[in-house]
Chains A and B, each alone.
Chain A
Amino acid sequence: MAGEALLRMREVRKTFGGTVALSGVDFDLNPGEVHAIIGENGAGKSTLMKILCGVYPMDGGSILVEGEPVRIQLPKDALALGINMIHQEFANFSKLSVAENVFVGRLPRKAGFPLALDSRDLLLRTAEVLGRLRLPIDPGARLDSLSVAQQQLVEVAKALSANLRILIMDEATSSLNLRESEQLFATIEALKVEGISVVYISHRLKEVMDIADRITVLRDGANVGTFPRGHIEEAAIIEAMLGRRLRAAVKKAATRGPTVFSVTGLSIPGKVRNLSFELHRGEILGITGLSGSGKELAIRGLYGLWPSRIERMECNGEQVSISHPSDGLSLGITYLAEERKNMSVFPQLTIRENASVLWMRSVWRRFVVSRRREREASLQSLRRVNVKMAGAESPVDSLSGGNQQKMLLARLLMVQPEIVILNDPTRGVDVGSKQEIYQIIYQLAREGVSIIMTSSEIPEVTALADRVIVMSKGHKIAELSDAEVTTDNVLALVTQAAAADEHG
């Protein structure tokens, strides 16, 4: 049938626990088309694609390939249909050669002696695939000798070397610079020429507008519109993405307290350039920008969680340095990590034990910890942030995501910090808990605690912060305060910066 869509997803639904991730989403893909999906974190982009790849089963809906209904329950079902996804983290073999990565699990054997590897054929076939994508990469090179960008292109070659019809790329440019991104776009063009369809998930509006034939916007697990290229303006897409859900709270009058903390010349090679700022007592300072702007790395670098160079750091007027989180704790600075599961929660321990981890450090000189004091201190702190739990001795797993996050805030507050750094404080948290967490943050600031925060959601930062540092490509491009702190202002600044980047 001419003009038939290659892929149709209809009324796809998915729920995790009580949270609706997808509420009946439709998605079409034509042969040789680049179709972008954009939306905020948690809009359901990745979930939709993981269903297509057989990583998650769907709760309802249907998938049709060339008009025929198909069942995709496991990754191998998707692979058999020629649906492949570029995996970012866990699917490559850094110590092996490019060729071995491309043909892993399918290494060619010698015709006469099938036990033996046909290394000549392996190199030739890899060179052939790389050639089809016009990639100047040596098939014999060790994968970890390549740049991240090249490694990603090897992943594309790997997908292409098997039977490939649909390639899914999730935030493919998040760790690439401008020239590397252009190489990736050229590779996508080469795929299109071969008739392969590409689903392109991204935060970056600009590049999506450039390469996609069609753009689908997801918000809160629903498709809010599919637009052909050239028929929509950036502003309209932003409007569709954000839906104006988060209205900026009324900013309190700006009476800045004294400076409690300052950083001069924070740099991370290739990621952050010469960032300086001051933090006042009782202030909420937001650091924001698009993903890849360096906002997250900057605050990790400042807390000794990422190798960085800092010219000068002052805390309460004294020069200090933080090369490790324990230095930060000694200065009364606590840090909420962006990843709850891997970086914060101890799943085998109880709620009390989880909450009192930092507090233990403050009492260790006493050598023997009073169980009673520990319980009192943790209960007090847990109550303060309103963790809903059966009891503090329950396993931490019994808490919902939102309550786990609040427990982590309780952990930070137990040591009475002067400064709190929050890296994406509401990631993976339900709407109700989000509001509660915002209240906790406001309350802290009112009590005189100074807060540095960043978030994957720009409106969250603009709603909370008194002052905002806007970053783009590792540079601080602006500083907004009080009434200037609005999502529209921030977006205007980052779009301008991206445009200037493009022309300069």
Chain B
Amino acid sequence: MNGRRFRAIIRDQKILLIILAIALVLAVVRPVFISAENLFNILFQVSITSIIGIGMTFLMIGADFDLSVGSNMVFATTVAILLQGSGLGAGIAAAILASTVAGFLNGVFVAKLRINSFISTLSMMIFLRGLVLILTNKQTISGSSDALFSFGYGNLFGVIPYPVVLAAALLVLFALVLARTVLGRNLYAVGCNEKAARMFGIDVAGLKIFAFSLTGFLCGASGIVLLSRLNSASGTYGIDTNLDVISGVLLGGISLSGGEGSIFKAFQGILLLGVLSNAMILLHVTPYLQQVIKGLMLMTVVSLDSYQAKAAAFR
């Protein structure tokens, strides 16, 4: 009885448990880990991946995904800098709009032209990366206004970085959309069984286009957060973002086959990656070894998920 409950906790909360375990070890060997400054630093580090992770979660619940998020984010940053001449606000608005359109196009390719999301978003990833290289002329370009710095480096109540506040607000808002609206619940049905969902009158194409557009919009928002910190853009930014977002969401237990998962779970996965990176930096693990460990972590957790699902199906 107790054993079963214990196993259920291990099964359902393993990500939180791993985070706690890492935190406990680090608290002992590197006490600086649990300082408020470091903890908020971790949250700041994961704010961008969390914002994009919201969109990725919507997509993966609908059994799609998006490889172009990293390119799309830098695309937004680039557009915002280039259009700052007509005002910071106009630049930001244009950047978010441009990213949303890119996401919308992904949605049209997947939902209307029925191109597999791997192929369509791979094309979009390459296309946008190229566009950024052209627009920046392969240089690192800088913004003319540093008005955004007060957002990027400012803290709410003097402690919580504004990007963290923004990410938290978006996470809560879209967690509600996914769990409590008809649109959100219909998305689960689409991911579970697309053919049947269509048969029961759910607008499958519309939902998919919405999820891709939302992802584009969130890439735009992340691009602005990036701008607020770096005030610059370059074709070399955001290369790892795709993999960080997708692996984070996968770690959270949202499967590529769709139909299950939640924003909260996805955030746990992304947070785990952030905590792990921070811990490895504090422990002076070399960057290459860091990648090896992240890869191993993803493989282990996903294998565990798969094994548990198999075991559950056999009972």
A residues near B (Cβ < 8 Å) are 75, 87, 90-96, 100, 104-107, 109, 115-117, 119
Contact = CB atoms under 8 A, between A and B. Distances in A.
A107 B186 CA distance: 8
Contacts of A95: 188, 192, 259-260
Given A75-B199, A104-B200, A116-B180, A93 B185 contact: no
Contact of A96 (B180, B202, B259): B259
B170 interface: no
B283 interface: no
Given A95-B188, A107-B182, A109-B182, 18 more contacts: A90-B196, A91-B193, A91-B196, A91-B200, A93-B259, A94-B192, A95-B259, A95-B260, A96-B185, A104-B189, A104-B196, A104-B202, A105-B189, A105-B202, A107-B186, A115-B183, A117-B181, A117-B185
B196 A93 contact: yes
A107 B192 contact: no
Contacts of A91: 193, 196, 199-200
Contacts of B189: 93, 96, 100, 104-105
Contacts of A107: 182, 185-186
Ranked 9 nearest A-B pairs via Cβ: A105-B200, A93-B192, A95-B259, A105-B201, A91-B196, A95-B260, A104-B200, A107-B182, A117-B182
A29 B48 CA distance: 62
Interface of B: 180-186, 188-189, 192-193, 195-197, 199-202, 259-260
A9 to B, nearest CB: 23
A410 to B, nearest CB: 34
A158 B176 CA distance: 26
Nearest to A108: B182
B114 to A, nearest CB: 18
Contacts of B183: 115
B188 A119 contact: no
26 contacts: A87-B196, A90-B196, A91-B193, A91-B196, A92-B193, A93-B192, A93-B193, A93-B197, A94-B193, A95-B188, A96-B185, A96-B188, A96-B189, A96-B259, A104-B189, A104-B197, A105-B200, A107-B185, A107-B186, A109-B182, A115-B182, A116-B180, A116-B181, A117-B182, A117-B185, A119-B180
Interface of A is mostly: loop
B187 to A, nearest CB: 11
Contacts of A92: 193, 196
Contacts of B200: 91, 104-106
B223 to A, nearest CB: 28
Contacts of A94: 192-193, 259
A421 B192 CA distance: 36
A264 to B, nearest CB: 24
Nearest to A100: B185
A93 B185 CA distance: 12
Nearest to B184: A117
Nearest to A101: B189
Contact of A90 (B181, B193, B201): B193
Nearest to B260: A95
Contacts of A109: 182
B258 to A, nearest CB: 8
B193 A116 contact: no
Nearest to B257: A95
Nearest to B312: A144
A95 B254 CA distance: 12
Which of A87, A91, A95 has the most B CB atoms < 10 Å from its CB?
Answer: A95
B285 to A, nearest CB: 38
A87 B188 CA distance: 20
Contacts of A75: 199
B153 to A, nearest CB: 36
A94 B191 CA distance: 11
Nearest to A145: B312
Nearest to B188: A96
Nearest to A162: B200
A105 B197 contact: yes
Nearest to B183: A115
Contacts of B195: 90
Which of A75, A87, A100 counts the most chain B CB atoms within 10 A?
Answer: A100
Nearest to B201: A105
B180 to A, nearest CB: 6
A445 B259 CA distance: 50
A112 to B, nearest CB: 14
A115 B201 CA distance: 17
A100 B192 CA distance: 12
A150 B188 CA distance: 21
A105 B186 CA distance: 7
A87 B193 CA distance: 13
A419 B225 CA distance: 68
A234 to B, nearest CB: 38
A107 B181 CA distance: 10
Among A87, A93, A100, A106, residue most surrounded by chain B Cβ atoms (within 10 Å) = A93
Contacts of B185: 96, 100, 107, 117
Given A90-B196, A92-B196, A107-B186, A115 B181 contact: yes
Contacts of B260: 95
Nearest to A142: B260
A277 to B, nearest CB: 27
Contacts of B199: 75, 91
Contacts of A93: 188-189, 192-193, 196-197, 259
Contacts of A104: 189, 196-197, 200, 202
A117 B188 CA distance: 13
A96 B192 contact: yes
A452 to B, nearest CB: 27
A440 to B, nearest CB: 37
B280 to A, nearest CB: 35
B178 to A, nearest CB: 11
A92 B193 CA distance: 7
A119 to B, nearest CB: 7
A105 B255 CA distance: 23
B188 to A, nearest CB: 6
A13 B290 CA distance: 69
A154 to B, nearest CB: 13
A470 B6 CA distance: 47
Contacts of B188: 93, 95-96, 100
B315 to A, nearest CB: 11
A185 to B, nearest CB: 26
Contacts of B182: 107, 109, 115-117
Contacts of A87: 196
A107 B260 CA distance: 18
A270 to B, nearest CB: 12
Nearest to A109: B182
A60 B224 CA distance: 64
A75 B188 CA distance: 23
A322 B97 CA distance: 59
A32 B202 CA distance: 31
A116 B182 CA distance: 6
A95 B312 CA distance: 13
A181 B176 CA distance: 41
A105 B200 CA distance: 5
A42 B240 CA distance: 57
B259 to A, nearest CB: 4
Nearest to A76: B201
Nearest to A158: B200
